[in-house]
A and B are shown apart, each in its own frame.
Chain A
Amino acid sequence: MPALLEARAITKRFPGVTALRDVSFDLQAGEIHALCGENGAGKSTLIKLLSGLHAHGSYEGSFSIAGRTAEFSSIADARLAGLAVIYQELALVPGLTVAENLFLGCEPRRGLLIDWEKLYTDARAALAKVGLDVPADTLVAELGIGQQQLVEIAKALSKETRILILDEPTAALAEREVDILLALLRDLRAQGIACIYISHKLDEVFAISDRITVLRDGSTISTYRAAATSKHAIIRDMVGREIKDLFPRVASAPGEILLRVDHLSVSPASGAPARLRDVSFEVRAGEVLGIGGLMGAGRTELLMHLFGAWGHRLSGDVQLCGRDLRSPTPVTALAGGLALVSEDRKRYGLVLDRDIGFNLSLSSITRLRRGLLVDEENEVRTNQKFFSSLRVKAPSLETAVGTLSGGNQQKVVIGKALMTGPSVVFLDEPTRGIDVGAKLEVYELINRLTAEGKAVVLVSSELPELMGMSDRIVMLHDGEVGGTFTKAEATQEVLIAAAMGSGSRDDRDGRDEKP
């Protein structure tokens, strides 16, 4: 029996780079096949090629679906052949209902008009298939990310899909939502639907896949049966070298308190109910404070508020380097020595169609002045320094940021924050969606920052990362501090308990008297 999908010796060149070199890959019916590799390894290019985004003729080699040679010239061709891609950034219209989204562009009709009755009946059936229990007339905007993802999958399945390609499907999902998604994929596998699964999260990859193929620098390095290999081997193949220590935290002696947050309560807008309640913590020079919690616990809101970009303060005090930070704006926060690397780098981090230099110096440009004008030589020198010390992989400072891989974009965002010379650095999910090699570089950077006497606040959804890199950990639960732990106290179990609100463990250092 021929493979459901078989790619033979595919080479794809872009001006100046060879994105794929002689790649071969196969997918069997009823198989979940994971595709691993660092950003820029060629995974996205391969997917775009299989799904018709890179038209037939723009690459060398060939691939076939169920034994028939596939020559797609558009996404529509790939769809007809039964191949659907679900991208990291979901493509749903928030203002339409679930049912409308499911059949967007192929609404059932009666004459010229939409057959609403059939549309909603079909939608209910499609939702049942993915086990999503919401009314079909719910607006997509009212759904959580995980539910939206299920809608996307339902949408794909409603069109005779045999091959489902998921690109980083769990990047924005909470743990429970991940479980639901993985269960669904297993279910679909049992029904004979094959799946190409792309993820940086190796735990998931091992939990779900039958086989794993590693790409590096545009070539296939290895294909393993998942049961017969280890994370270690995959990582080694991905980075092409041995990584012994995943979390190379080097603790430095904590110094004076740089940031103190005292009984802080914040609401989204004046008059709204509090979103953060009675939050207290402090961060010292040379220390990494980890902040954990479930999706929606208020981690990002906390950082964004302290940085002056979110919310209305109801009560509480914040002291930054000994000075009161009463009603901060990003301008005053930066001036006071606080820098933020946002979790959503495309939305809050980068001006995508501008070049690397523009983005790197954006936060510092008012200081890089001579008189009224920008001191361009100084600017380029400074940019160059961060460009090379962060090892951004790009032809030059004049490369548009939008064309970079996730890891390199993240480096630019980090460089922009560091160029302002901060004493306290907020890193909100700094390794989300970036590859192992770049992650390691971020961790090393954290060490360098604390060694220089800066304080780092690290927000992360990944417990191993949080435990591996933090000196102390604050777990948030529903806008409140669920517990504060030293590195020695922090085990997965107590952290999860605190995040779920069942930790019932108060701040250990005793200055927190709870009513």
Chain B
Amino acid sequence: MTQSRLSLRDFSLLVTLIIIWGFFAVTSPQYLSARNLSALSVELAITATLALGMLLVILPGHIDLSVGSGVGLIGGIAAVLVFNHDWPAILAFLPAIAVALLVWYAQGTLIVRQRIPAFIITLGGLLVFKGVFWLVINTHTVPVAPGGRPNLYSLLTTYYLPPLASYALVAIVFAALAVVAVRARRRRAQMGFAVDDAELAFMKLFLTAQGLILFVLTVNQFRGIPLPVVILGTVALAIQVITRHTPFGRHLYAIGGNEEAAFVSGVPVQKVVIGAFTLLGGIVAITGLMQTAYGGAATTTVGDQMELDAIAACVIGGTSLRGGRGTVLGVIFGALIMASLLNGMTLLAVAPELKFIVRGVVLTLAVWMDVKLAKR
């Protein structure tokens, strides 16, 4: 049985993205330069990584407003250990990550055991973490690399895979994607499920290959694939496997779809939600280290409003805030749209007040379009 299942909706994100890129390409000649696209890919990696973590708690119908403050706090802890206490970066990462896991485990526990809405708990978290962050850095600017000597911390966003390695990595990634796609298709056909017709399946792979080649050619003109992109790839793969191929992932969707039915079906609802928040904590840590490294130092504003970009990326990417619906690929596209906008506006030196307005309008439009298309 073959069936073509492409609709305008599948392309709406792509169309939005092309419009955004087209606009900035015309208004700012540097937008499509290798240097800028490389920077954009780093910004995308940071936004998307955090958004993928957010997906984990939105799927079971929760939300987290505290991740932005958390990003600042965790990056700040590591920076203080490295700069003020001369710890080696790698050792400084460990307590920072441990704190994040512990704090988000605690938030998750409060939410499910005391039955306080996640919105409230994490709103409290937003404020508390911000305050603790400022205490930790003593409201100073704390660089991630003492004396400007590069260390593991600063390299997080300044290391690039050399061009040759970049080509190799892209080749491996594409080969893996192709094998997985072909295998999955064959298996679905064997089990008697509907599959895309061969032409469409090929087109999808072909487009993916083109995208990857275009990407690597561009970033190689600058310095190669930025390390954050590799980190994003790893996180995305992990989240994809967790949400799609583990019992835990099934449980996330089941809880978001119908929590009572999930409970009566033997889904350990509380454990699963706490698990999702704990994983999010880990991702907040990774994002915090990357974001702080990207700015070069922990300053009082690191992480501001990142929770909103993460939620926006999820929603633009088709995630339902009521839970039960959302995909990794969608979230990455959503993040790409948010990151592209922000990067372009920064390049054009758009005033900050206008930036806020544009981001808000785009978020609203994107969701409105999705709702419209979903109805047809």
| Chain A partners chain B | yes
User: How many residues from A make CB contacts under 8 Å with B?
Assistant: 37
Give residues of chain A (359-399) contacting chain B, Cβ–Cβ below 8 Å: 361-363, 365-366, 368-369, 372-374, 376-377, 380, 384, 396-398
With a cutoff of 8 Å between Cβ atoms, the chain B residues found around residue A307 in the complex are 264
Q: Are B265 and A330 in contact (CB under 8 A)?
A: yes
Q: Are B264 and A352 in contact (CB under 8 A)?
A: no
- Known contacts: A351-B258, A354-B257. The answer to whether A365 contacts B187 by CB under 8 A is no
B275 to chain A, nearest CB (A): 13
A147 to chain B, nearest CB (A): 25
Chain B contact residues (Cβ within 8 angstroms of A): what range?
20 to 34
Interface residues as binary, B211-254 with A (CB distance below 8 Å gives 1, 0 otherwise):
00000000000000000000000000000010001110011011
* Residue of B194, B246, B253 touching A351 (CB-CB under 8 A): B253
* Residue of A348, A362, A369 touching B260 (CB-CB under 8 A): A348
Closest to A420 in B: B266
Give residues of chain A (321-336) contacting chain B, Cβ–Cβ below 8 Å: 329-331, 333-334
12 contacts between A and B (CB under 8 A): A307-B264, A329-B268, A331-B268, A348-B261, A349-B264, A351-B324, A354-B257, A363-B265, A365-B251, A368-B247, A380-B191, A398-B194
B209 near A: Cβ within 8 Å? Answer: no
Q: How many A-B residue pairs have CB under 8 A?
A: 82
Q: Are B193 and A358 in contact (CB under 8 A)?
A: no
Q: Are A362 and B262 in contact (CB under 8 A)?
A: yes
B64 to chain A, nearest CB (A): 23
Instruction: Beyond A362-B250, A416-B265, list 16 extra A-B contacts (CB 8 Å).
Output: A309-B263, A331-B266, A331-B268, A334-B266, A347-B261, A348-B260, A351-B253, A365-B247, A365-B251, A373-B245, A374-B246, A374-B247, A377-B187, A384-B191, A396-B192, A397-B193
A242 near B: Cβ within 8 Å? Answer: no
Interface residues as binary, B184-207 with A (CB distance below 8 Å gives 1, 0 otherwise):
000100011110000000000000
With a cutoff of 8 Å between Cβ atoms, the chain B residues found around residue A350 in the complex are 258, 261
Closest to B1 in A: A396
Q: Are B261 and A330 in contact (CB under 8 A)?
A: no
Q: Are A358 and B192 in contact (CB under 8 A)?
A: no
* Residue of A363, A374, A380 touching B245 (CB-CB under 8 A): A374
Give bound CA distance, A145 to B257, whole Å.
26
Give bound CA distance, A280 to B191, whole Å.
48
Q: Are B258 and A369 in contact (CB under 8 A)?
A: no
Lowest 5 A-B CB distances belong to which pairs? Answer: A351-B257, A334-B266, A348-B264, A365-B247, A366-B247
A423 near B: Cβ within 8 Å? Answer: no
B181 to chain A, nearest CB (A): 15
Give bound CA distance, A397 to B192, whole Å.
10
- Known contacts: A358-B250, A373-B241. The answer to whether A349 contacts B193 by CB under 8 A is no
With a cutoff of 8 Å between Cβ atoms, the chain A residues found around residue B266 in the complex are 330-331, 333-334, 362-363, 420
* Residue of A351, A366, A373, A374 touching B262 (CB-CB under 8 A): A351
A342 near B: Cβ within 8 Å? Answer: yes
Q: Are A362 and B265 in contact (CB under 8 A)?
A: yes
* Residue of B192, B193, B250 touching A365 (CB-CB under 8 A): B250
With a cutoff of 8 Å between Cβ atoms, the chain A residues found around residue B260 in the complex are 347-348
Interface residues as binary, A334-348 with B (CB distance below 8 Å gives 1, 0 otherwise):
100000101000011
* Residue of B191, B253, B267, B268 touching A358 (CB-CB under 8 A): B253
Give bound CA distance, A157 to B266, whole Å.
44
Interface residue ranges, B against A (CB under 8 Å): 187, 191-194, 241, 245-247, 250-251, 253-254, 257-258, 260-268, 324-325
With a cutoff of 8 Å between Cβ atoms, the chain B residues found around residue A358 in the complex are 250, 253-254
Q: Are A352 and B258 in contact (CB under 8 A)?
A: yes
Q: Are B247 and A369 in contact (CB under 8 A)?
A: yes
Interface residue ranges, A against B (CB under 8 Å): 307, 309, 329-331, 333-334, 340, 342, 347-354, 358, 361-363, 365-366, 368-369, 372-374, 376-377, 380, 384, 396-398, 416, 420
With a cutoff of 8 Å between Cβ atoms, the chain A residues found around residue B254 in the complex are 351, 354, 358, 362
With a cutoff of 8 Å between Cβ atoms, the chain A residues found around residue B264 in the complex are 307, 309, 330, 340, 342, 348-349
Q: Are A396 and B194 in contact (CB under 8 A)?
A: yes
* Residue of A333, A347, A352, A362 touching B267 (CB-CB under 8 A): A362
Give bound CA distance, A365 to B253, whole Å.
13
* Residue of A329, A351, A372, A377 touching B261 (CB-CB under 8 A): A351
Give bound CA distance, A91 to B78, whole Å.
55
B165 to chain A, nearest CB (A): 29
Closest to A329 in B: B268
Give bound CA distance, A347 to B246, whole Å.
25
With a cutoff of 8 Å between Cβ atoms, the chain B residues found around residue A363 in the complex are 265-266
With a cutoff of 8 Å between Cβ atoms, the chain B residues found around residue A334 in the complex are 266
Give bound CA distance, A315 to B87, whole Å.
58
With a cutoff of 8 Å between Cβ atoms, the chain A residues found around residue B258 in the complex are 347, 350-352
* Residue of A329, A353, A361, A376 touching B324 (CB-CB under 8 A): A353
- Known contacts: A350-B261, A351-B258, A363-B265. The answer to whether A376 contacts B245 by CB under 8 A is yes
Give bound CA distance, A350 to B265, whole Å.
9
With a cutoff of 8 Å between Cβ atoms, the chain A residues found around residue B324 in the complex are 351, 353-354
B76 to chain A, nearest CB (A): 34
Give bound CA distance, A398 to B194, whole Å.
9
Give bound CA distance, A109 to B257, whole Å.
40
Closest to B255 in A: A351
With a cutoff of 8 Å between Cβ atoms, the chain A residues found around residue B247 in the complex are 365-366, 368-369, 374
With a cutoff of 8 Å between Cβ atoms, the chain B residues found around residue A373 in the complex are 241, 245-246
* Residue of A354, A372, A380, A416 touching B246 (CB-CB under 8 A): A372
B93 to chain A, nearest CB (A): 25
With a cutoff of 8 Å between Cβ atoms, the chain A residues found around residue B187 in the complex are 376-377
Closest to A417 in B: B265
Closest to A373 in B: B245
Q: In this complex, which of B262, B264, B268 has the most chain A Cβ atoms within 10 angstroms of its Cβ?
A: B264
B83 to chain A, nearest CB (A): 39
Give bound CA distance, A365 to B255, whole Å.
14
A487 to chain B, nearest CB (A): 30
With a cutoff of 8 Å between Cβ atoms, the chain A residues found around residue B250 in the complex are 358, 361-362, 365, 374
Q: In this complex, which of A334, A348, A361, A369 has the most chain B Cβ atoms within 10 angstroms of its Cβ?
A: A348
With a cutoff of 8 Å between Cβ atoms, the chain B residues found around residue A377 in the complex are 187, 191
Give bound CA distance, A193 to B67, whole Å.
61
With a cutoff of 8 Å between Cβ atoms, the chain B residues found around residue A398 in the complex are 193-194
Give bound CA distance, A363 to B262, whole Å.
8
